[in-house]
Amino acid sequence: MTRWIVAFACVLSLGMLALAQDADARGYTRKRCIAPEKAQTWVCSAKEKCCYDYVVRQGTCPVDRCF
């Protein structure tokens, strides 16, 4: 029984590790960004960040940081 628990924990941890990687590490070139209000979506490159400006209510894709 202990072997089954250890095997299940290993498979679960490997699955979570695969999903925790960045989009560019998994081979994707673009990613879909969703606004916090979920009223709009936009597409960014895998190397860019998804940023949402609450003042103008518009999403942007800067390379380094959000303003």
Alpha-carbon span 31 to 53, nearest angstrom: 18
Alpha-carbon span 60 to 66, nearest angstrom: 8
Write down the pLDDT at residue 66.
Answer: 79
Write down the pLDDT at residue 19.
Answer: 56
Write down the pLDDT at residue 17.
Answer: 59
| pLDDT under 70: residue ranges of the chain | 14-27
